[in-house]
A and B are shown apart, each in its own frame.
Chain A
Amino acid sequence: MRRATPGEGGSLRGLARWRADQRYALGEAKQTLGKQPLATGLIMITLALALLLPAALGRVLGLLEANIGTWPTTPKINVFFAAEVPPGPLLQRWRAHPDIADLRVQTAQASAEEFQAALGVGSALGKRFGAAPFPPLPSVVVVTPREDAQAPARVKALAEALEQEAGTLGVQVDLAWVLRLRGALEVFSMLLYTFQGLLATAALLLVGTVTRMALLERLPALRTLQLLGATNGFLLAPFIYQALAYGLGGGFMAGLGLLVLEGALSPALTALASAYALPLTPNASAASSFLFLLASGLALAFLGALLAGLWVLRRFESGLEQTS
């Protein structure tokens, strides 16, 4: 019985033929990979490293970014001034400042009462504090910068401007460390994206070069097949499957590596967060990270092999026309 030839038969026959071609391509790829297990393993490991490095850094970054979102991140500037300075004129002037969203005055008396309450009004320490002849704490204006002025540099500039005001004893930026961390993370994430792009390009080039070399090695055979009527898809399919195997292996190794790294880093990160009395919850499940790495490996390998394959075949096609 004869199966469908091009232009003949229905879609079922076409599907049967497609399946036969894929089986052939898979067999060819399997045979090639089996002939060079060491080279295959090394390519997979290189791909795994190219995937794992940015993935691990991205995971840490994602974890911090996700958790910082749950931490109090609106910076406050505490401006201390002497108890005898009336806050009215200061407040009037500051309200007009374009970077200030809100002002809240806490008098020296209120601060003292709050502190005394914290010490315990009935306690010996609290009684002693309450018996002080003058308010021991300065008055404070709590300044909340506008939302669009909460970048570390703007907050710092505002704090410095407030510090220059007459009567100001000092300025303290609350949550300064969060702002610094956020700034650092912004830089870090930009570096990470660059790093990810570079390593993805490296992975593409790696698979592309391997595919190109494999194609060039088989060029006489490909020429024969093309003269017999093989399509570009038929010619490329074994090489694409070969590349997908690299991607699958590389992605799998990278996924495993990430799980191991997470297990090793988790206690240290939790300890770091607890040092600031902050919660640290995972931003993504281990399974989704694993699947993402697998998919990335497959996608990069497929793209690398396809681009290299089409490039070689296009050049080869003009050669075929000249040499056959």
Chain B
Amino acid sequence: MIHLSQVGKRYGDRDALRGVDLTLPKGSLSFLMGPSGAGKSTLLRLLLALERPDAGRIEVAGLDLGRLPRRQRPAYLRRVGAVFQDPQLLMDRSVFHNVALPLQLAGYAAAEQGPRVRAALTQVGLAGAEGRSPRTLSTGERQRVGIARALVHRPALVLADEPTGNLDPTLSAEIMGLFQRFQKVGVTVVIATHDVDLAGRFPAQALYLEGGRLTAGAAPGAGV
């Protein structure tokens, strides 16, 4: 599903990533860990095709992201689910509208959007919240809306950057549990987090980045 070969990325005279080799199979759950500035977000940006690597090759589902024309980036992004620390919801739209956005962008008929949005909200424990405004939701609920939005179009790959950064431990574990459930149905999930303890509670591949280098990667199920 994901294959990185000698990937490097430079900002000015600083190496954000250096010689990263990585293979993540389809349906895997991986935690990308490391201190601030280690290159976690850079790696996720590369996987989202928001940037191109300066060296090496990134392949996602057979697609060479380093050579992906800018015009094709939206189509690629529509196939990926992205979750951010700040869920970036549209505050002037309802929860339904927010979650339905990927479906709308992917060209789903309006009649088909409703059941899918309701199913996604049920999965994240927000059944019946369709008509609510994101302003009325708690931080944890907003994050769950963000996750529902990332999963509503059933992407094969979900990339999450510090999805539990603003949440308390109980909510964080709940959110991680959600990702684990999606992994079990074949979705490839990569989560960047600095919460080593939380990541250690889930059977997943743990990837450590330090100074832009991938220093360790444990086998799935080994914990951290």
Contacts and interface: CB of A to CB of B under 8 A. Distances in A.
Interface of A: 1-7, 13, 17, 20, 24, 220-221, 223-231, 234, 320-321, 324
A20 B76 CA distance: 21
Interface in B102-126: 102, 104-112
A224 B107 contact: no
Contacts of A321: 45, 50-51
Contact of A229 (B84, B90, B92, B106): B106
Contacts of A224: 88-90, 101
A21 to B, nearest CB: 8
Contacts of A13: 107
Contacts of B58: none
B102 A320 contact: no
B199 interface: no
Given A2-B108, A3-B108, A229-B105, 14 more contacts: A1-B111, A2-B112, A3-B112, A6-B74, A6-B78, A7-B75, A224-B88, A229-B75, A229-B78, A229-B80, A229-B106, A230-B105, A234-B105, A321-B51
Contacts of B89: 224
Contacts of A223: 88
A43 B71 CA distance: 34
13 contacts: A1-B111, A3-B112, A4-B107, A6-B74, A7-B75, A20-B107, A20-B109, A220-B88, A225-B105, A226-B77, A228-B78, A229-B74, A229-B77
Interface in B124-157: 149
Interface in B32-76: 45, 48, 50-51, 74-76
Interface residues of B, number: 29
B95 interface: no
B82 interface: yes
Interface string B9-29: 000000000000000000000
A17 to B, nearest CB: 4
Nearest to A220: B88
A324 B105 contact: no
Contact of A221 (B51, B75, B90): B90
Contacts of A220: 88
Given A6-B75, A7-B75, A223-B88, A229 B102 contact: yes
Contacts of B108: 2-3
A301 to B, nearest CB: 25
A6 B50 CA distance: 19
B102 A6 contact: no
Contacts of A5: 78, 106-107
B77 A228 contact: yes
A225 B101 contact: yes
A17 B82 CA distance: 23
A12 to B, nearest CB: 13
Contacts of B149: 228
B109 A228 contact: no
B50 to A, nearest CB: 5
Most A CB contacts (10 A, CB to CB) among B48, B107, B110 go to B107
A227 B82 contact: yes
Contact of A227 (B79, B88, B106): B88
A6 B90 CA distance: 24
B65 to A, nearest CB: 13
Nearest to B101: A228
Which 4 residue pairs spanning A and B have beta carbons closest together? A229-B78, A229-B77, A17-B107, A6-B75
A227 B78 contact: no
A231 B74 CA distance: 6
Nearest to B149: A228
B88 A1 contact: no
